[in-house]
A and B are shown apart, each in its own frame.
Chain A
């Protein structure tokens, strides 16, 4: 009885989060005002974090919130806010080509998802870290253990890529300053 209630509750929460996620993503691409688009995207990221929590991976969920919803979207919001929003609205450009191409790819991807769900071809590998094991040893510890042993090389490569990105950004902004003089 009690387990049924828990299952029902989880299912309801999942349904709510999934619907919010889908609705927010649709609003991101259909809204005219870029600032509102960015805010809907924040909601999408938050709902995705909720999905991670339901999968017992709290660490990924909170990193999703800190990095994507907190830092990256804040940057995007900044850029969008400082632009003149009304230029695009006034110009009334009709992006017919982009709509056609985007629609084509959207339908293609949706068919792909349907195919994968119906035939269940994408199963994924089952690892040794089950939800019970992860919650027993602690979420962060589990992620750290795997990250700093099996995936150390990709991890270090990613950090070098980030440093390259930062250096590139500094050089580009410096060059523009030099040209002005």
Chain B
């Protein structure tokens, strides 16, 4: 019977996380347009429902009824599976992210994480690198030179920034002595001064900058620079396939912010121990929303970098900085 309970628990948790994630992604598109609108002193979407709140559903229905084109020169199989790879890898990232502490329900102790695995952070890196196949394949299989150029740029940028991203979190792993995400969060308990963001401030900034590059958001949105590549790797995509790419991108954004909250901002730990009567999920969501707001806000602030500037910045500034941060952390840990 234990096995049946376990299966039910996993299935219920997966469904809840999936549903919440899809809702978040839908309203993220609305929030992005609304916030960018206010940054640029206009209203943003405000016609469908109060404050434009039904806009995501209208967009979804519109995408559904658009014509689904597959170009004649396209590699059909790759063209169809590319958006699927992007969204599946983005959603699967949430399997290891802890949303809260243990919960006792019907006499069972339930951990608020789908899979509490030993190698959580490596799992995130592995799946994120698999997600790049979707982008590369999408650009290549459309048989379009703009698409291919966008895909090549995207892949080159993601690979370059993944190096600094990986190095930036090693300091955190050295401090917490584990790769298990729940243990990393538990190690940051007891007030906000124990959070890794104060022990590893450089790593946090590095992680957010590289995370933006990983998401190819402004200032790193070179792969889809409208003015020179028309749209980048997803140029030939229409209807639901385009919507899948879009949703995958937003789900990936939530994932990057959630990992950042887990690693640096204490996950579901309250900022002051006295506030622990508020459930951990609430704290997690507050921090997550703050980081997501930052990601949208900076899009309205920064201009786009040139391709060579991005490469220069990644390899000659971020990469050495990550190495120095790593060495300093190691020395401090060894002396202490």
Chain A residues engaging chain B, CB cutoff 8 angstroms: 2, 5-6, 33, 35-36, 39, 42, 58-59, 62-63, 65-66, 69-71, 74, 77-78, 81, 135, 138-140
Contact = CB atoms under 8 A, between A and B. Distances in A.
Interface string B110-121: 000000011100
B155 A62 contact: no
Contacts of B129: 65-66, 69-71, 74
Contacts of A81: 136, 140, 148
B136 A63 contact: no
Contacts of B130: 65, 69-70
B3 A2 contact: yes
Interface of B: 1-3, 75, 77-78, 117-119, 122-123, 125-127, 129-130, 132-133, 136-137, 140, 148, 152, 155, 159, 178-180
A138 B75 CA distance: 44
A66 B159 CA distance: 12
B118 A138 contact: yes
A58 B132 contact: no
A28 to B, nearest CB: 15
A58 B119 contact: yes
Contacts, number: 66
A74 B132 contact: yes
A39 B82 CA distance: 11
Given A36-B78, A66-B122, A74-B133, 19 more contacts: A2-B2, A2-B3, A5-B3, A6-B3, A35-B75, A35-B140, A42-B133, A58-B118, A58-B119, A59-B118, A62-B122, A62-B123, A63-B122, A69-B126, A70-B132, A78-B152, A78-B155, A138-B180, A139-B118
Going nearest first, the 3 A-B pairs with the smallest beta carbon separation are: A70-B129, A65-B126, A62-B122
Contacts of B1: 2
A66 B119 CA distance: 12
27 contacts: A2-B1, A2-B2, A2-B3, A6-B3, A35-B78, A36-B78, A42-B133, A62-B126, A63-B122, A65-B127, A65-B129, A66-B122, A66-B126, A66-B129, A69-B130, A70-B129, A70-B130, A71-B129, A71-B159, A74-B129, A74-B155, A77-B133, A78-B136, A78-B152, A138-B178, A139-B118, A139-B119
Contacts of A6: 3
A70 B126 contact: yes
A140 B140 contact: no
B75 to A, nearest CB: 7
A140 B126 contact: no
A140 B179 contact: yes
A65 B327 CA distance: 27
B119 A74 contact: no
A74 B136 contact: yes
A52 to B, nearest CB: 11
B105 to A, nearest CB: 22
A170 to B, nearest CB: 13
Contact of B119 (A59, A70, A78): A59
Nearest to A71: B129
Nearest to A134: B118
Contact of B125 (A66, A74, A138, A140): A66
B118 A140 contact: yes
Contacts of B118: 58-59, 135, 138-140
B218 to A, nearest CB: 25
Contacts of A69: 126, 129-130
Contact of A62 (B77, B119, B133): B119
Contacts of A78: 136, 152, 155
Nearest to A33: B75
A70 B130 CA distance: 6
Contacts of B123: 62
B3 A59 contact: no
Contacts of B137: 39
Given A6-B3, A71-B129, A39 B119 contact: no
Nearest to A65: B126
A77 B122 contact: no
Contacts of A138: 118, 178, 180
Contacts of B136: 74, 77-78, 81
Contacts of B78: 35-36, 39
A175 to B, nearest CB: 22
B119 A140 contact: yes
Contacts of A59: 118-119, 122
